[in-house]
Structure 1
């Protein structure tokens, strides 16, 4: 223990010195502009797109690197150093490869060990105690200046990885994105919604380089557990006539190749070490002696890279491996004693044990507990091995024979597509997860709950009927059929006509158009909340989606609207700005084969008892609008005896023009007003007086940076006799009845 503590202190001190020594930390505190020579230590990666207000935050390329030489701009003389940094490249205005025809940024093609010369501004890291000395912020659209190419192993790894991507180019979307991630951890093609689905079902470990990848390949050589040292050993090695020593040597070479191809950074080394431990368990059947082996691997890895001691990924990997070595064999034996088939018992025990130990840590990270993690992992596990083996076959053959690699990739697309379907289906279940306190106190509480569940579960295994009843109850919780949910929660209220979904700082509303049918107006900033809202409302068919304008807080949630539903037409404003969001909508519509149309004033439509008229924008505006807000599609809706006015995000100039239009007479005294622009202060008082709604609904996010809704707007609406409700305080809202029977329910 003393020796380990001394070694850990020495290693941590040396690594900490890299962060503090040299001129880089001081220059970062001054936000100095420097010219630096850097060596890349990781693959470039894109930040995930996110909504900031009404627009998409610009994408950035992130690369880990080491500064080897730095010179302040304007000063004479460069200083040799060795400081870890994070390079942040602002790619606004550059293509980044998300679209089918987009060309990737030149920064994304760089390989680790490449040396660059960059001129950038230094900034300190966001948090103290970070593993980097500074952030290098690179601006400008010029290609990187390369002063030294990558090393031979990295060029080989890059060629193999590029070959795998080329081999998967013709595959369906999910398989094309997932296969490189399953094989070598390349997640550059994984879409945000697919990534979110994997996180919600606790399948994200399949997208990272993990020990299971290596274990699958080595188990292919060694064969079934416990037979590696016997005459009856199986696997490919004895079929090829290889001795036990030759097999061990071949496994070592394969492990080395795995590390090279998947990049020799700490996460890959961790995967190789933990995978080797799991392999040792498979090969020898001596699970009890493997706990010291796992402890040794952890100790050596932490001494190699002390920052792993602060890595949640490392902690989860160690916990999962430990669960497979300790709990899983006991649980598997207990299941077999209760007549569960051996293969099913092993798979169920492995998934449940890993989940039991890892879930408290996952809850700290996501403040959520997945209820579908175990079944999703069980269903996905049957496809991981064939996908991995076929994917590695495509990886190896791609540089030699691309048609053969494409054939392997096509075969791998079937199990890979299955894994994606499992993740998407599990994530789509309305009761797939529950919120949980995202703290270590919450983790401790969850650990206690897990222990109780395990103890109760042991007793339930002896009572099949109780097990079946618990299974049915869990299924009902996961599926949450709308009729049952309505009886228990009262949401949605019977006979609802209009619903405003709580989607945060954005808009998403639904007009009832028959059983399971609704017209959706706007989609909010995030696919997940609007999808959850539509499922709660029981909407499965959408004859029309109206996107009032192309700001991100109204259209970025469109994939959630389209997910698993029959959609007829998407109607938008004719003012296609911002251009990137308009392109996003076109791409989503084309991917689902849904036609796009433009709305214009005077258009009238009817679906059953629901009818509406487009009041804005005019078909031939005299001048371009001041911005996307003033081009918002504005609807006057009739549902039975209920009249609703949906203003989109119209600003005062367009509101005043609307008052001067022929539609003025129709605006007087509506029942429900969807307040424009999330209740901002930019409202025309004359329009509020003319409309004089009985009920004013405002869609806004809790604690939003704009202060929506403005107190002046709320006061003006109340002065006209309106009852004002807002989603940030009242949650989702549903309107029922009409006239004197007008009611509003809250979720």
Structure 2
């Protein structure tokens, strides 16, 4: 029906990353499947050997066309008159008209007539990217895909496999340049993910609409129909999640129309080269292997090529945009994670690049979305022992999100206690804040309730301040007058202008890390804060300009920037 109101954000992001978002929108394929129940396969609908309910019941062609028109109208009413629904309905009605009148059915003129009629009816559709993508994909299936399918079949590819592969590749080729205008990235897994998901689209659609029809007259029956419909739907969702989780699922690309034209040119060049490439099976295999390595990015190979992550890394500030996500090494494949950033894919990608598969403790300093909204990405495919958080459950919506996510993964949630000390492998840490009353009176909101950690690892001392504001920073210094000078400071609140100068002087960090997003609307980090840190003798690194930052103990304190060597 196109109702995506209960699709969780992480699944929506997964569909976007794999270019499968069209499967969550009602399109011509959905209507085709519904009409096929009545008319049978479109290529047989006008012949004597036609199938479907109409053929089985001996219904005449004109009556079949009228019934199909009624079914199409019901389809639009149920799914709402969205651009893709209207385009699908217009094409379907024109085709049904041709079926009823006995005239030659040509789908490309039907598409052109439908687009023209809809744009004349609502000129604003001409500015709709969704409508454009729908029309381009349909046009590619009618014009490009048949030729590509025939070429693949001439080279020994089975017909059904050739048709599916050609359809997915043609739709991706014409739609990708338009997608780049809206998002500066190219999906490298779109074609295989769409191919794998396609096998579940027909049963999900037909069973789903059957359940919808039965619900009007027999709700218990509808429940029984909907139950098996959930299996193919879950298959599609799992394909999206798995594809999006691959390290090389997406590649950065210039945005805007410049990027679109560049991608169109590259696509055309690849299509032309592909015609010759198909003649050489060895070259095809080599190219397929290179693409597979680019998508999977096995950690040992990635480290050899990029130098990331550096050997012996002790802490990494992940580049997750405007938010925090810190990773503390605790053994092979094991790390303590502090915050998860604002969205799941970024933190998942960072943890995968570091080879983290086990998280004995995941610490969420406070419940603001830029620290907890990526939780599902951190949990994905990893064994997590427990989640530790602040006791102040504000904002309540984000706190509930954390508890719900932890509950679904059967992970206990515990509150950090002031003075708490823990050790795991080479890593040890102490919870300095929030403190007990009366010092806790400095806590005026979620930021000032941030869990603050003093960490020791490999002879390094690190202080992670969360988003503490100056009142809590001052109280922290008062509560812990014996705070030592430190090697690495995770600067509070993304390097905002609100820092306590006395605390910075006391800490005298050698390296200051600021986690923030490029061109964020808050002005983070503040030039005043950067100047103050440098005045204390600290080297300042920031994720918005330096990318992910790894701290190592290689011949003294050293920082490596996203695979590019850089010492501090």
TM-score of the two chains, using structure 2 as the length reference? 0.94
* Structure 2 residue 447 is the aligned partner of structure 1 residue 629: yes
Name which of 305, 308, 332 aligns with 2:122: 305
What secondary structure sits across from 1:612 in the alignment?
Answer: strand
Kindly report which structure 2 residues correspond to 1:123-522, keeping only aligned pairs within 5 A, or say none.
184-264=1-81, 266-275=83-92, 289-522=106-339
Cα gap change, 1:545 to 1:278, in 2 (>3 Å): farther
* Offset of residue 519 of structure 1: 0.5
Match of 2:556 in 1: 741
* Structure 2 residue 363 is the aligned partner of structure 1 residue 525: no
Question: 2: CA distance between counterparts of 1:460 and 1:282?
Answer: 41
* Offset of residue 283 of structure 1: 12
Structure scoring higher RCO (CA < 8 A, sep ≥ 6) equals 2
What secondary structure sits across from 2:385 in the alignment?
Answer: strand
Gaps of 5+ in 2: 563-568
* Offset of residue 285 of structure 1: 14
Cα gap change, 1:660 to 1:465, in 2 (>3 Å): same
* Offset of residue 280 of structure 1: 9.3
Match of 2:521 in 1: 705
* Offset of residue 587 of structure 1: 1.7
Match of 2:457 in 1: 639
CA contact 2:69–2:96 (8 Å) conserved in 1: no
Question: 2: CA distance between counterparts of 1:335 and 1:285?
Answer: 33
Name which of 675, 683, 691 aligns with 2:499: 683
What secondary structure sits across from 1:660 in the alignment?
Answer: helix
Q: Aligned pairs, how many?
A: 561
* Structure 2 residue 459 is the aligned partner of structure 1 residue 659: no
Cα gap change, 1:403 to 1:734, in 2 (>3 Å): same
CA contact 1:513–1:609 (8 Å) conserved in 2: yes
Where does structure 1 differ by over 6 angstroms across 4 or more consecutive aligned residues? 277-288
* Offset of residue 282 of structure 1: 11
* Structure 2 residue 422 is the aligned partner of structure 1 residue 586: no
What secondary structure sits across from 2:429 in the alignment?
Answer: strand
TM-score of the two chains, using structure 1 as the length reference? 0.72
Cα gap change, 1:187 to 1:284, in 2 (>3 Å): farther
Match of 2:565 in 1: none
* Offset of residue 250 of structure 1: 2.2
CA deviation string 1:279-336 (max 9, x = no partner): 8999999999432222222111111111112222222122111111111111111111
CA contact 2:61–2:100 (8 Å) conserved in 1: no
CA contact 2:319–2:547 (8 Å) conserved in 1: yes
* Offset of residue 713 of structure 1: 2.5
What secondary structure sits across from 1:187 in the alignment?
Answer: coil
Cα gap change, 1:691 to 1:455, in 2 (>3 Å): same
Match of 1:674 in 2: 490
Question: 2: CA distance between counterparts of 1:635 and 1:252?
Answer: 66
CA contact 2:62–2:99 (8 Å) conserved in 1: no
Question: 2: CA distance between counterparts of 1:415 and 1:245?
Answer: 34
Match of 2:541 in 1: 725
Question: 2: CA distance between counterparts of 1:360 and 1:262?
Answer: 28
| Structure 1, 217-226 or 286-295: larger mean CA deviation | 286-295
CA deviation string 1:581-636 (max 9, x = no partner): 22221122112111100112211111111111111122455654222222211111
Question: 2: CA distance between counterparts of 1:285 and 1:568?
Answer: 67
Cα gap change, 1:472 to 1:265, in 2 (>3 Å): closer
* Offset of residue 657 of structure 1: 2.5
CA deviation string 1:672-699 (max 9, x = no partner): 1111222223222222222211111111
Question: 2: CA distance between counterparts of 1:317 and 1:327?
Answer: 15
* Offset of residue 478 of structure 1: 0.7
What secondary structure sits across from 1:519 in the alignment?
Answer: strand
Question: 1: CA distance between counterparts of 2:189 and 2:36?
Answer: 28
Match of 1:556 in 2: 373
Name which of 357, 366, 369 aligns with 1:540: 357
Gaps of 5+ in 1: 1-183
Cα root mean square deviation, aligned: 2.3
Match of 1:178 in 2: none
* Offset of residue 421 of structure 1: 0.7
Question: 2: CA distance between counterparts of 1:468 and 1:395?
Answer: 45
CA contact 1:693–1:720 (8 Å) conserved in 2: yes
